[in-house]
Amino acid sequence: MLDLFVEIEGLIALVVALLTVISTFGGIYLRRKWVDNSRQKDLEQVSYKNGEVIKVLKSLLFDFGADRAYVFEFHNGDYFLSGMPIRKFTCTYEVVSDGVSAECHNPGEYRISNYNEYISSIIHERDYLVECVEEMDTDALLKSLLTKKGVKSLYNVPIRTYSGKTVGFIGLDFVKSKKVLNDKEINTLRSAAKLVTGYIAQ
């Protein structure tokens, strides 16, 4: 009789061990599958948002007859030895017209400290509008950069979150010829910035 109880206890222990193994590996499998599905959904969502931003830029490029339309976003790229962040602004989206070079990789990101006047204007919720780059009499470093890019006219407006934080800017470059935008056109660019906010600042 005692042997029978021992055998039953051993059998129960074996079943419990098997159930533990099955539940453990089953849990690992289900978790991995959930993580994979979650990553896939995140990737699909990012891809969708990227596509929507590109649509906005293509529309601006066509409607305004611009040569480049782009989005720059602010970020902390790295840290100095002092521990202070190296604040930068990076081109995250760009579309160009036929025959015009893309500049997002050249180099694609810039130190805010080197273009303080320019970026300060945008951060303080002001548009940065340059009808003629050749006639710029301030911010020599920015003028040099724009000239190297072949920019003749420049229109940038800030991208702000709904809480009022400036996270970047949307812009148009005119390379083939100068362009003067009227108030209605600039308001359209501001509206585009608000639209982009919904995709990059959520």
| Confidence band, pLDDT 50/70/90 cuts, at residue 163 | confident
3-class DSSP string for 135-170: HCCCCHHHHHHHHHCCCCEEEEEEEECCCCCEEEEE
Number of CB atoms found within 10 A of residue 150's CB: 16
Helices (H), 2-71: 2-64
Residue 150's pLDDT is 94
Contact 89, 55 (CB under 8 A): no
**Cβ distance 64 to 102 under 8 Å?**
no
Residues 120-144 have a mean pLDDT of 91
Q: What confidence tens digit (pLDDT) does each residue in 172-194 have?
A: 999 999 999 999 999 999 999 99
Is 153 a residue whose pLDDT tops 80? yes
Among all chains, which residue has been given the structure tokens 């108030």?
A: 183
- Please report the domains of the chain, with CATH numbers, ordered by start residue: 50-200 (3.30.450.40)
What is the rounded distance in angstroms from the CA atom of residue 200 to the CA atom of residue 196?
6
Segment 84-103 mean pLDDT: 88
Q: Mean of the pLDDT values across residues 98-123?
A: 87
Q: In what helix (H) or strand (E) does residue 109 lie, and over which residues does it extend?
A: strand 109-111
Rounded to the nearest integer, the mean pLDDT of the chain is: 85
Q: How many CB atoms lie within 10 A of CB 101?
A: 12
pLDDT at 161 over 80: yes
Mean pLDDT of 114-126: 89
pLDDT tens per residue across span 42-74:
778 878 889 999 999 999 999 999 999 999 999
Residue 148 main-chain phi, psi, to 5 deg: -65, -35
